A and B are shown apart, each in its own frame.
Chain A
Amino acid sequence: MGQDTAALHARSLSELSRGLNEGEFTSRELTESLLQRIDDHQEQLNAFITVTADHALQRADAADKARANGDTGTLNGLPIVHKDLFCTKGVLTTCGSHILGNFVSPYDATVVERINAAGAVMLGKTNMDEFAMGSSNETSYYGPVTNPWNEKLSPGGSSGGSAAAVAARVVPAATGTDTGGSIRQPAALTGTVGLKPTYGRVSRYGMVAFASSLDQAGVITRSAEDAALLLGVMAGYDRRDSTSVDHPVPDYVAALSKPVKGLKIGIVRQHFDEGLDAGCEERIKVALSALKDQGATLIEVDLPNIDLSVPTYYVVAPAECSSNLSRFDGVRFGHRSDNPEDILDLYCRSRGEGFGAEVQRRVMTGTYVLSAGYYDAYYLKAQKVRQLISQDFKKAFANVDVIAGPTAPTTAFAIGEKTDDPITMYLNDIYTIGANLAGLPGVSVPCGFADGLPVGLQLVGPHFAEETILACAHQYQQLTDWHTQGPEDFS
């Protein structure tokens, strides 16, 4: 029996698109069925902060009407959920924080606007680490998300709600954002596909800013094909984002058919040092040899400064965060403390009450590295090391088309396991942060299981090589069926 006869929730976005086109079901039927599924699993997963049921049903009816009138918009009538970091007009946008607990956005993010314009139906806003600062979804003010593969485990983060919802077959696709691995790491830990595009490929307008030189919007889906479909809608120049790049948007779906044969795949020596779980390492090596069997060439490459990527990130990202988060002052929007003594007390208490512990730590780390007397030693130094890391990638891509390796050092870890030591948590992103520092596109693809938990294969490409990494991911998914295997409790 093919996938196209499976229950609606079990189908990918592309499969649902075919069903709608063939009149097998309406968008209203699809939307109602998925809203029910969200409701059924919210208590266990806590994947959503807001569910927009009324809005969704109105949009679904409009999509059905448009279809009847011949509208075949790319995503017409298809479901989507947004990480609660994207501003959505008239809908609560909390960014996982208490300080934005009552913030109703007066406008749509460009990503939301484009996805809406393509006809998609937003079902809700997903849970996340507060201000996207975390790798486990435990820093959310709205409680941790659980991993559908085992409810005692974290789904990763910061796009944990998006990843859990897609992995649990609650929704076929979700947006996410990735500053140091926040799309790819949760995708790896939940057995989903997570795509972080090139910096500047997708507009950041309307994304609550964390670290502006690193943040990038992307998607979590169940197949590379779905990621390509969504990227085609999301990508493109936006005058409202000053770092948006005016670069042609190719047909990402059409590019998927490019065979792996002849592809030069770089393997980073440093990625297989101590620190990588043996079970994960084995799965990655099996995946790489499968690509080799299809005619790809595996070439060892060296990224000599990659070990410094995590400390570099933990100077640059907090510095940018301390600057970006200065806008939360209890005056114009967001939480305000009661009975302030004076303006300073108003600022300090509103922020002290509104920000959680991890956000406070990062704001303070950033304040410290930018403060008088320390700027050169930390911030400037980190930006120089960042340059070295970026040049290492550039040299590597002179010889290879993609770099492949693990997405995360281990499979999903227990909720509470890494909360005592921030450094242990930060090291989760050791394989993903390099792509953010250098602005490169990366995708994590399910490549099997270690002790029953999903493992992710990461493919990183040069700037604007999304076609290459998505085609490689798609071709791998033609050889394997890891991406179609979901957690048993959510079949």
Chain B
Amino acid sequence: MSLTKDQVQHIATLARLKLADAEFDDVVDKLSRIVEFVDQLQAAPTDDVLPMAHPLNMTQRLRADEITEPNERDEVQKNAPQVENGYYLVPKVIE
């Protein structure tokens, strides 16, 4: 199935991606080819097959709710583009 430009724009918005105008047609073309390629799965008979969620069929391990890691905020925030007093700064969200 080919994707329309509107569909691709919608996907990009959901994915929080600003696509360059010059590349938009190429993205539509290549994404359509990928979707057509994976469409061949539709023909596989999978009635009564359980979806596989994990390669080893394990269940999620749980641990006791204990504090095990030290607070390394300052170290971690060295990688942040903009911080102030331990907070991450972003453009104003609420007017």
- Enumerate chain A interface residues (CB-CB to B < 8 A): 102-104, 106, 198-200, 213-214, 239, 242-243, 245, 305, 308, 310-312, 314-315, 322, 326, 329-334, 336, 340-349, 351-353, 355, 357, 360-361, 363-365, 367-369, 371, 377-378, 380-388, 390, 421-423, 426, 437-439, 463
Contact = CB atoms under 8 A, between A and B. Distances in A.
Contacts of A384: 44, 46, 49-52
Contacts of B4: none
Do most interface residues of chain B lie in helix, strand or loop, or is the interface mixed? loop
B52 A383 contact: yes
A336 B80 CA distance: 9
B58 interface: yes
Contacts of B37: 310-311, 314, 423, 426
Given A363-B15, A363-B17, A422-B34, A245 B46 contact: no
Given A343-B93, A345-B91, A355-B17, 19 more contacts: A103-B79, A311-B38, A311-B41, A314-B38, A340-B91, A351-B17, A352-B17, A363-B17, A365-B35, A365-B38, A367-B11, A378-B38, A382-B38, A385-B44, A390-B52, A423-B34, A426-B37, A438-B55, A439-B55
A348 B8 CA distance: 15
Do most interface residues of chain A lie in helix, strand or loop, or is the interface mixed? helix
B18 A348 contact: yes
Contact of A352 (B11, B19, B56): B19
Contacts of A103: 79
A352 B21 CA distance: 11
Interface of B: 3, 8, 11-20, 23, 26-27, 30-31, 33-35, 37-42, 44, 46, 49-56, 58, 60-61, 63, 72, 75-76, 78-82, 88, 90-93
A163 to B, nearest CB: 24
Contacts of A348: 13, 16-18
- 3 nearest CB pairs, A to B: A439-B55, A383-B51, A352-B18
A341 B63 CA distance: 42
Nearest to B16: A347
A245 B54 CA distance: 12
B19 to A, nearest CB: 6
A322 B12 CA distance: 11
Contact of B56 (A200, A329, A423): A200
Contacts of B93: 342-343
Nearest to B69: A240
B33 A422 contact: yes
A416 to B, nearest CB: 16
Nearest to A102: B79
Contact of B76 (A106, A326, A377, A380): A106
Most chain A beta-carbon contacts within 10 A, residue among B44, B54, B61: B44
16 contacts: A311-B40, A332-B79, A332-B80, A348-B13, A364-B8, A364-B31, A365-B34, A377-B42, A381-B46, A383-B51, A384-B44, A385-B46, A386-B52, A388-B44, A390-B55, A421-B33
A357 B23 contact: yes
B79 A333 contact: yes
B34 A199 contact: no
Contact of A371 (B11, B19, B30): B11
Contact of B41 (A308, A341, A426): A308
Contacts of A353: 18
Contacts of B31: 361, 364-365, 368
Contacts of B52: 383-384, 386-387, 390
Nearest to B26: A357
Contact of A423 (B11, B13, B33, B81): B33
